Amino acid sequence: VIYTDRFSTIYFANSEGSYIEQEKPFLSARFTAIAREGDNVQMASESVGTTKGFKIMERISTKAQKAAFRAVNLLKAQPVDGGEYTVILDQTLGGVFIHEAFGHLSEADFLYEDERMSGLMKLGKKFGSPKLNVVDDGSIPDLLGSTKYDDEGVRTKKNYLIKEGILTGRLHSRETAAKMGEEPTGNARALNYCFKPIVRMTNTYIENGDTPLKDLLSGIKKGIYAKDCYGGMTTFEMFTFSAGEGYMIRDGEINEPVKDVVLSGNLFTTLLNIEGVGNDLKMIETGGGCGKAGQNPLPVSFGSPHLRIKKVVVGGR
């Protein structure tokens, strides 16, 4: 068990006459469970982060129980057979995917320094079906990435990055906005006063669609339900993510547990292969954070409804 709490007061002043004080509480807890049966050892973790104070700890035991259940469940899981599947991502893994694989490519300091990626991330380009809407919004009250003003004194707001499948925006500081002839978006953030503000995400998520989970599952003869995230990496538009929990889907029903579920692919192809967007958006607040340019962990939130994606490469035995 790892527990952290702090209370910060941030003061901001600039030559334009702005003076801003913001108070930010933070609390996090992480639980790791280890299950063993002979030589078979499995581990699972759960974490929570909040800006709402200590009250969340009153129901924290459910997180510990969930970690224990997942670890025990993995003891009986068989390694998944590698191949190409239709995959359902839960809200956590969908949120991690959109934050890590897409969100970082939307940070303008990355784009203007890379001519190739600037071309790939050209505004107006089709990125998915009209069902796909991706947002970064630091103005949502009481989430980990929320703040009324960024660390350059710019008011945060709802920024559409993809709207109805079309790339419509990117994230800016004052500097990157000036360089690219666009408007600041309220995304200049610093870990603390020791660091320069750079372009960072706040609360990044896929908006709700209109499809219930049972309808997303319908018609999948053999697929995979991938939940939570155990880790991953991205290299430009390529990604690899390990699911924390996996199940086979057979004839539209969630069936036996499987392990070693590793999803990989190309971001742009994967976004175009999203066949269905659920109606059950959930914002995920963990005890970790986002890292960039040595500033880690910066509190953020991410989220998604369940997603149905075709032709996903799944590594296994």
Task: Tokens for 197, please give them.
Answer: 């503000």
pLDDT digits (tens, 9 = 90+) for 71-124: 999 999 999 999 999 999 999 999 999 999 999 999 999 988 888 999 999 999
- Is residue 267 predicted with pLDDT exceeding 80? yes
| Chain position carrying tokens 């419509």 | 168
pLDDT digits (tens, 9 = 90+) for 186-233: 999 999 999 999 999 999 999 999 999 999 999 999 999 999 998 889
pLDDT digits (tens, 9 = 90+) for 26-42: 999 999 999 999 999 99
Burial class (CB in 10 A: 0-12, 13-18, 19+), 155: middle
pTM reported for the whole predicted model: 0.94
Helical spans, DSSP H, in the chain? 61-75, 91-97, 108-111, 115-120, 174-180, 213-217, 267-272
- Is residue 316 predicted with pLDDT exceeding 70? no
- pLDDT at position 14 is 95
Arithmetic mean of pLDDT over the chain:
95
- Where b means 16+ CB within 10 Å and e means fewer, 236-265 reads ebebbbbbbbbbbbeeeebeebbbbbbbbb
Split at pLDDT 50, 70, 90, the class of 317 is low
